[in-house]
Each structure stands twice: as structure tokens, then as C-alpha cells.
Amino acid sequence: MKYDVVVVGSGLFGLTIARQCAEEKGMRVALLERRNHIGGNAYSEAEETTGIEVHRYGAHLFHTSNERVWEYVNR
């Protein structure tokens, strides 16, 4: 399969640029990720015993007061 662009990493930037290339530019995108999940260092998951959401890689949080940005990253 041929791609127009290859994006390495599925953190916030990687996912954003992959989406823009695919949806806004109509490009064929290959997204490569070495981990078994997307989200990069901002990834969180439920702790097995308690079900409490924890940040696997520490407190890598995304903060914004811009409503348009918040809506975009929550799509």
C-alpha cells in the first residue's frame, strides 16, 4: 500500500497532523506507534483494582481555556 505521508507517534501532535492530512488534505496516512495504545504521554487508563483513572506516564496533562481547542481534542 502506498501512503502520501507517514506519521510516527500517536501523541497529541501525531494524531492531530494525521487527521488534518487525511481529512482536510485527502492524503493517505500511515500512523506508526510503538506502544499498544494511542495518546502518547497523556494516555490514561483505569486501574485494575479500583477502576480509578490513572496517568500511566505521570502527570502529562493537556490544559486549555480555548473552547475551540477543547472541542477539537475531544472529537
DSSP states of the chain: ---SEEEE--SHHHHHHHHIIIIIT---EEEE-SSSSSSGGG-EEE-TTT--EEETTSS-------HHHHHHHT-
**pLDDT for the residue 74:** 80
- Using alpha carbons only, give the angle 46, 72, 62 rounded to the nearest 5 degrees: 50
Q: What is the pTM of this model?
A: 0.76
Q: Is residue 66 very low, low, confident or very high in pLDDT (cuts 50, 70, 90)?
A: very high
Amino acid at site 40: G
What confidence tens digit (pLDDT) does each residue in 24-61 have?
999 999 999 999 999 998 898 999 999 999 988 887 77
